[in-house]
Chains A and B, each alone.
Chain A
Amino acid sequence: MTELDPCDLLVVGGGNAALCAAISAAERGLKVTICEAAPIGFRGGNSRHVRNFRAAHDAPTEVLTDSYPTDEYFDDLMRVTAGKTNERLARIAIAESAHIERWMRERSVRFQPALGGTLSLGRTNPFFLGGGKALLNALYRRAEQFGVKVHYDTEVTGLVIEDGAFIAAHLNHRGFAARIRARGLAAAAGGFQANLDWLEEAWGPAARNFTVRGTRYAQGTLLRSLLDHGVERVAEADQCHAIALDARAPKFDAGIVSRVDSVPFSVMVNTRAERFYDEGEDFWPKRYAIWGRLIAKQPGQIAYSIIDNKALKLFMPSLFQPEQADTIEALAGKLGLEPSALSKTIANYNTACTGGEFDTTVHDGCRTKGLAPEKSNWARPIDQPPFYAWPMVPGITFTYMGVAVDENARVQMADGRPAANIWAAGEIMAGNVLGQGYLAGIGITIGSVFGRRAGEAAARTLQN
């Protein structure tokens, strides 16, 4: 078995949280090694696919409009999680979110100017110029400048932990068994969303039909190993961020382009050609993240978003072209739905539309009356051919079940003691803050804040 060079801090994972931990520790003089399961071309986990993070601020900045006070941020978080959050950790993440941008800029990360933005997040979320891969490029360069050694294609397969103290990690190092000893461990290897077997334990057979939006390397091997060694667990196994995306997207790593934004202007039906949820409940960015779970509960985990010609240009173009037909019956045929059933659903919906002034920029109150469920905004008859449809499936972004940490990102053991030399950051501990629900961009905020805290705490602990 190969023995890799020992180090002070072993960082497991290669995304934003891992790099924030590695850079913070290396800048304070620790000898840091990163073990990234992916090869270099796929490095960075889900950070490859991110675009922005959520930041509190008191006044407009170069990259943010208006202000976003910490209290409002906290209220938003309480609302989406229905209170399922560790308030102390949440307040730390929110307070420090205001300093992430400067920290990143000092490390050569570039941002877009405040644009108003396609997702109306210009007030709350700074956007990385070029997105997550550009962020990663800058952070990897910084890490390497500070002597951080990066092993790609190196997955941690097991941990040696004695009495709450990390000693060594067993690795699959480019296909060979290897081991590395370190004085501390920063666990930042993501969730277990790419591990369909594990998802099936939580979701049942429906999990087989999930598409994994991000990295295929989030297998949860490190998380399972930590839990097996008696680390305290947070959040439920079925809690996750999941959206509805195009059924034709690749199984892994399709990222943002598999998104379809037609839902609020469409009628969503399942394989029985029945509607199942209010498509116009709220603006799409605010409802984007509930549709994954909604479709996961439909038969076969698939649904169809149906519009007519007048709605086609109301939302961003999709990567995959929609199915198209001149009659609803023909469209049903292309989708494999019962034509008479779909035609009846659409006819009922058309009759139930109450009219009103259609306006995509406000809750326009163009609603249905007499349907179950109703559509409460942007409801217009679907009557102008050609008709279009997108097949949509649940796309999982990341799982929330993870390891419990304290305010310094130190991992907590199930017996109530803190681990001696183990810290965690990113998706693997996001469940401390996100018991359920999601707030756009908070994933990178949690990873950045607790990544830095993990690196700083490791430096303090290991240098004494």
Chain B
Amino acid sequence: MLDAAPETDIQREARRAMEICNACRYCESYCPVFPAMFARRDFPAPDLAHLANLCHNCKGCWHACQYAPPHEFGLNLPATLAKVRTQSYADYAFPKAAGRLFQHNGLFVSMAIAVSLAAVLIASMLLIDSDTMTETHRGEGAFYAVIPHNTMVWLGGISFGWAIIAMIAGVSGYWRATAGGRPGWAAVRAAIADAATTRHLGSRGGGCNDLDAGFSHARRHAHLATMWGFLLCFAATCLGTVLDYALGWQAPYSWYSAPVVTGTIGGVALMGGTAGLFAIKLRTDPEPEARELWGMDTGLLALLFFTAATGLALLFWRHTSAMAWLLAVHLGFVLALFVTLPYGKMVHGLYRMAALIRFHAEQDR
């Protein structure tokens, strides 16, 4: 599909970069991008997308590059691959228009959706029964006194269901265009192991160039906290669902219940991780960064941070009269996160998994 189209400016720059790197090879031990690149001599668009999604943006190659500016070749591999990568999210997004919207306005769009959803929830509660917004609700089912159980299930179910469908459609389109075929189990296992430990953010244990030419593990640790924090929060939601439907216990749950403990740990990790990633983004050397992607990168960080923060706030003040407001705001962020999931930075997880599976499949060959 893509190879038939004429080369875009970004693709041309990426191909030029590959041709320089492929004749140099000094960076071969930094990450999988290089062995995958060296196995090729031509770089059509789908292969560029694959290599770009293998890149974990550690910036080791930038600081080591003898062809980076002021050299006349002006090579900037991390920024170039970041642009190709983001373009691939937009190219395979379902539907496409939504992907393009997020490509450049991610932060604004995410926040706008979250705030409007919260506002709609608050407004409907006020219209239906303004007393619920000032009363204190306690005991089993307290949340559902504010927003009916069914409404919450439908809102969450539809937005999350949509997210899953759109993401599967996106990543399958990407997989078909860049690789196709059924990957072997060994490749999938190896890719999962890479992702679970974010191994390639560690650059062989020596760390990445998070801020400058010095090596650090800060970004890797912040990313691990974000990823596992998110997964714990998700697990907490699943546990709540099980308790509700299988055992008939309705939220809110006690401090020491499984969903609350899991969610609290996850929420704290998620806040710490996203705050850390944001701090690194603010302080890092801007040259190897693609600044036009700032919105998309920070959009997801902001959504995750506020989802966790409003969730924890709801937990702390659920027995006060602020609960209804906090619930509405928290749900606004959760729903915004779900709705934007297939179009924002979150898809990098899926595309990277696909790229890692393909990388391991090629290595095994």
Contacts and interface: CB of A to CB of B under 8 A. Distances in A.
B206 A129 contact: yes
30 contacts: A39-B70, A41-B70, A42-B71, A48-B66, A112-B29, A113-B29, A115-B28, A115-B29, A118-B25, A118-B28, A127-B29, A129-B30, A130-B29, A130-B60, A130-B61, A132-B66, A134-B60, A134-B63, A134-B64, A137-B64, A255-B24, A256-B24, A256-B26, A257-B23, A257-B67, A316-B23, A316-B25, A317-B23, A317-B41, A318-B23
A313 B23 CA distance: 13
Interface in B10-51: 19-20, 22-30, 41
A141 interface: yes
B23 A253 contact: no
A248 to B, nearest CB: 12
A133 B70 CA distance: 13
B72 interface: yes
Interface string A121-135: 000000101111110
A403 B206 CA distance: 39
B51 to A, nearest CB: 15
Contacts of B60: 129-130, 134
Contacts of B72: 250, 253
Interface string A318-341: 110000000000000000000000
A112 B28 CA distance: 9
Interface in A116-154: 118, 127, 129-134, 137-138, 141
Contact of A133 (B20, B28, B64): B64
A276 B28 CA distance: 36
Contacts of B184: none
The majority secondary structure among interface residues of chain B is loop
A253 B64 contact: no
Interface of B: 19-20, 22-30, 41, 60-61, 63-67, 69-72, 204, 206, 213-215
Contacts of B69: 41
Nearest to B40: A317
Given A41-B69, A42-B70, A115-B29, A130 B23 contact: no
Contacts of B64: 129-131, 133-134, 137
Nearest to A112: B29
B225 to A, nearest CB: 26
Contacts of A367: none
A138 B25 CA distance: 20
A316 B71 CA distance: 23
A363 interface: no
Contacts of B67: 255, 257
A257 B71 CA distance: 13
A317 B22 CA distance: 7
A259 interface: yes
Interface of A: 39, 41-42, 48-49, 51, 108, 110, 112-113, 115, 118, 127, 129-134, 137-138, 141, 250, 253, 255-257, 259, 313, 316-319
B24 A257 contact: yes
Closest 4 CB pairs of A and B: A130-B64, A131-B26, A134-B64, A137-B213
Contacts of A127: 29
A348 B70 CA distance: 48
A129 B29 contact: yes
Given A141-B213, A250-B72, A319-B23, A133 B29 contact: no
Nearest to A39: B70
Nearest to B27: A130
Contacts of B61: 130
A39 to B, nearest CB: 8
Contacts of A118: 25, 28
Residue of A39, A255, A259 with most chain B CB atoms under a 10 A cut-off:
A255
A255 B66 contact: yes
Given A110-B206, A130-B61, A133-B64, A319 B20 contact: yes
B65 A133 contact: yes
Contacts of B41: 313, 317
A113 to B, nearest CB: 7
Given A141-B213, A255-B24, 9 more contacts: A41-B71, A115-B28, A115-B29, A129-B64, A131-B64, A132-B66, A257-B23, A257-B67, A317-B23
A130 B30 CA distance: 7
A303 B177 CA distance: 43
A312 B93 CA distance: 39
B63 A130 contact: yes
Contacts of A48: 66
A253 B74 CA distance: 13
Contact of A131 (B27, B70, B214): B27
A318 B41 CA distance: 10
A319 B75 CA distance: 13
Residue of B20, B26, B65, B71 with most chain A CB atoms under a 10 A cut-off:
B26
Given A112-B28, A316-B23, A253 B71 contact: yes
A137 B213 CA distance: 6
Contacts of B22: 316-317
A134 B60 CA distance: 9
B323 to A, nearest CB: 52
Contacts of B215: 108, 110
Contact of B26 (A42, A51, A141): A51
B38 to A, nearest CB: 9
Contacts of B71: 41-42, 253
A4 B305 CA distance: 51
Contact of A49 (B19, B30, B66, B204): B66
Contacts of A134: 60, 63-64
Nearest to B18: A317
A257 to B, nearest CB: 4
Contacts of B66: 48-49, 131-133, 255-256
A255 B71 CA distance: 11
A133 B64 CA distance: 5
Contacts of A51: 26
Nearest to B205: A110
